[in-house]
């Protein structure tokens, strides 16, 4: 007997970045491909019939015309905002004060945190999301709940305690010292356990004093293998607020840079209204910019310059930013990224959108050698997509002459009905 499993169907993988080279060179599509899994890893990919012949003892799961891809990687989320997604609001700061902060205060209750963590992972798995980088709340129990649930499911995730010591309700403020101490203890408890990675997490400069940013910068220097996640230049009124709070700073990014929070393993969410110096420094250090298109449109933040930033050599990932983002679906996130780019007079190719939601985001998390692609040696986090999940999608896909014409209607109109299966660490839907 063998514990090998062979998945059959259409397959889509990448051998390059379709923003930097022609799509036909960057992407590999097989109309009848196969993915061989053993022990939670992909051990072979190729033509389905060849793999079936070479591995006659493998259990075969045939998805027909379903598209087999790496699972989606959501590079910036707030799992504590699960219950308030799609709440009516105005601008960012109003939305935080009205919905986010009151909800996050509930996470001092470990039972509530555990309930939302379970709900969040159920929802995202239904949408084919296999890895995400999440903000928690200031409460260590919120981090424990998230990592405990991910560990139970064998899931590769990134998360960290959100740190705030000003401009937040009393129940959501820590201090420079407690932010350092709590985060250090959580790193010791969770970082590197199973498939877990810790991210040092100052929410953003307006809710951290210089002392807190400096403390977290020192912590990052002590634990350079951790990621660091925060927000940057999301809205123009936010930038003006930062200017008032940090009058000595050259720009928004400098509030992080001056305190040791700019680096290659940094994840900077939104990054819409960047100054030339900020772009140059982000590129110099190899930091990652995380595009959150549904959130940017829902809260009215602005239009991310995907084409310009990619052409300039920036590293870019894609994210739902739930619950400021309006959907848990990376299909909807890809559609929104397409729409934002159209408003900037640039049409993103379906291959570019899919790469952003898989390998591109995995690379921003420094996990591109483990997740985000179908290739031997990669971890078996996989999504199977039905390209005819609804009548309107099916009638459009039936007219397609290429895989990209067949895939694009699902990107634009697809939802959880398009997710035929989600495999995490080599295991299918329970």
Residues whose CB is less than 8 angstroms from the CB of residue 314 and which lie 6 or more positions away in sequence, other chains included? 279, 282, 283, 289
| Same domain, yes or no: 93 and 59 | no
Residue in 430, 420, 416, 429 with CA at minimum distance from that of residue 69: 420
The answer to whether position 428 is within a domain reads no
Quick one: pLDDT at residue 101?
Answer: 85
Beta bridge partners of 387: none
The answer to whether position 430 is within a domain reads no
| Same domain, yes or no: 96 and 27 | no
pLDDT at residue 357 tops 60 = yes
| Same domain, yes or no: 92 and 59 | no
The answer to whether position 282 is within a domain reads yes
pLDDT at residue 149 tops 90 = yes
Tell me the angle at which helices 176-190 and 140-153 cross, rounded to the nearest 10 degrees.
Answer: 20
Instruction: Encode burial over 207-239: b for 16+ CB neighbours within 10 A, e otherwise.
Output: bbbbebbbbbbebbeebeebbbbbbbbbbeebb
Terminal alpha carbon distance of the chain: 23
pLDDT at residue 40 tops 90 = yes
Beta strands in 50-138, from DSSP E residues, in sequence order: 59-70, 72-78, 129-135
Tell me the angle at which helices 110-126 and 140-153 cross, rounded to the nearest 10 degrees.
Answer: 40
| Same domain, yes or no: 379 and 317 | no
pLDDT at residue 429 tops 80 = no
Number of domains in the chain: 2
The answer to whether position 105 is within a domain reads yes
The answer to whether position 216 is within a domain reads yes
The answer to whether position 13 is within a domain reads yes
Residue 197 in tokens? 């990675």
10 Å CB burial of residue 173 (0-12, 13-18, 19+) is middle
Q: Are 372 and 359 in contact (CB under 8 A)?
A: yes
The answer to whether position 39 is within a domain reads yes
Span 395-422, average pLDDT? 97
Q: Are 177 and 215 in contact (CB under 8 A)?
A: yes
| Same domain, yes or no: 94 and 127 | yes
What is the layout of strands, in order, in the sheet containing 27-38? 41-47, 27-38, 5-14, 59-70, 382-385, 419-423
Span 101-130, average pLDDT? 95
pLDDT at residue 75 tops 60 = yes
Domain interval for residue 188: 72-364
| Same domain, yes or no: 15 and 42 | yes
Average pLDDT value for the chain? 96
The H or E element spanning position 11 is: strand 5-14
Q: In whole angstroms, what is the distance from residue 27 CA to residue 29 CA? A: 6
Quick one: pLDDT at residue 68?
Answer: 98
| Same domain, yes or no: 264 and 404 | no
| Same domain, yes or no: 19 and 118 | no
User: What DSSP string describes 407-428?
Assistant: HHHHHHH--GGGEEEEEBTTB-
pLDDT at residue 367 tops 90 = yes
| Same domain, yes or no: 231 and 345 | yes
List, for residues 258-291, the tens digit of each pLDDT value: 999 999 999 999 999 999 999 999 999 999 999 9
pLDDT at residue 139 tops 60 = yes
pLDDT at residue 111 tops 70 = yes
Q: In whole angstroms, what is the distance from residue 24 CA to residue 44 CA? A: 21
Q: In whole angstroms, what is the distance from residue 286 CA to residue 293 CA? A: 22
Span 356-376, average pLDDT? 98
Beta bridge partners of 73: 131
| Same domain, yes or no: 76 and 62 | no
Domain boundary among 335, 364, 393: 364
Is there a cis peptide before residue 369, judged by omega within 30 degrees of 0?
no
Beta bridge partners of 201: 162
Span 365-388, average pLDDT? 98
Which CATH number is 49's domain given? 2.30.40.10
Domain boundary among 364, 389, 404: 364
pLDDT at residue 408 tops 50 = yes
Domain boundary among 364, 387, 411: 364
Instruction: Name the more confident of 93 and 350.
Output: 350
Q: Are 130 and 422 in contact (CB under 8 A)?
A: yes
| Confidence bin at 327 (pLDDT 50/70/90) | very high
| Same domain, yes or no: 384 and 329 | no
pLDDT at residue 2 tops 70 = no
List, for residues 204-257, the tens digit of each pLDDT value: 999 999 999 999 999 999 999 999 999 999 999 999 999 999 999 999 999 999
Beta bridge partners of 28: 13
| Same domain, yes or no: 257 and 342 | yes
Which CATH number is 146's domain given? 3.20.20.140
| Confidence bin at 1 (pLDDT 50/70/90) | very low
Q: Are 216 and 245 in contact (CB under 8 A)?
A: no
Three-point CA angle 408, 414, 420, nearest 5°: 105
The answer to whether position 429 is within a domain reads no
The H or E element spanning position 289 is: strand 288-291
């Amino acid at each position: 007997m063998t514990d090998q499993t062979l998945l059959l169907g259409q397959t889509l993988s990448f051998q390059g970045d379709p923003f930097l080279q022609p799509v036909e060179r960057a992407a590999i599509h097989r109309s009848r491909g196969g993915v061989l899994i053993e022990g939670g890893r992909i051990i072979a990919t190729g033509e389905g019939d060849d793999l079936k012949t070479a591995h006659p003892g493998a259990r075969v799961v045939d998805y027909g015309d379903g598209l087999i891809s790496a699972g989606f990687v959501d590079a910036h989320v707030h799992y504590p905002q699960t219950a308030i997604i799609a709440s009516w609001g105005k601008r960012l700061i109003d939305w935080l004060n009205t919905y986010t902060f009151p909800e996050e205060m509930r996470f001092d209750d470990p039972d509530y945190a555990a309930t939302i963590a379970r709900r969040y992972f159920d929802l995202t798995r239904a949408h084919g999301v296999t890895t995400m980088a999440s903000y928690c709340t200031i409460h260590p129990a919120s981090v424990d709940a998230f990592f405990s649930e991910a560990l139970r499911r064998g899931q590769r995730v990134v998360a960290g305690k959100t740190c705030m010591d000003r401009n937040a309700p009393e129940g959501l403020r820590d201090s420079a010292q407690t932010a350092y101490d709590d985060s250090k203890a959580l790193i010791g408890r969770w970082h590197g356990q199973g498939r877990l990675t810790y991210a040092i997490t100052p929410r953003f400069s307006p809710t951290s004093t210089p002392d807190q940013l400096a403390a977290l910068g020192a912590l990052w220097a002590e634990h350079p293998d951790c990621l660091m996640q925060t927000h940057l230049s999301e809205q123009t009124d936010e930038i003006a607020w930062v200017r008032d709070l940090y009058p000595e700073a050259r720009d928004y990014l400098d509030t992080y840079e001056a305190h040791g929070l700019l680096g290659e393993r940094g994840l900077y969410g939104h990054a819409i209204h960047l100054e030339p110096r900020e772009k140059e420094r982000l590129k110099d250090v190899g930091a990652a910019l995380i595009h959150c298109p549904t959130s940017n449109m829902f809260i009215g933040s602005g239009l991310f310059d995907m084409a310009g930033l990619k052409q300039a050599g920036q590293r870019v990932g894609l994210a739902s930013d739930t619950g400021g983002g309006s959907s848990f679906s990376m299909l909807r996130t890809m559609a929104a990224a397409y729409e934002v780019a159209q408003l900037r007079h640039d049409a993103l190719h379906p291959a570019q959108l899919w790469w952003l939601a898989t390998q591109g985001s995995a690379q921003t998390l420094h996990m591109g050698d483990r997740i985000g692609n179908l290739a031997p040696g990669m971890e078996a986090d996989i999504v199977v997509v039905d390209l005819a999940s609804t009548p309107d999608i099916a009638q459009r896909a039936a007219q397609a002459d290429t895989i990209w014409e067949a895939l694009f209607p699902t990107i634009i109109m697809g939802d959880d009905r398009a997710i035929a299966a989600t495999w995490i660490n080599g295991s299918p839907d329970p």
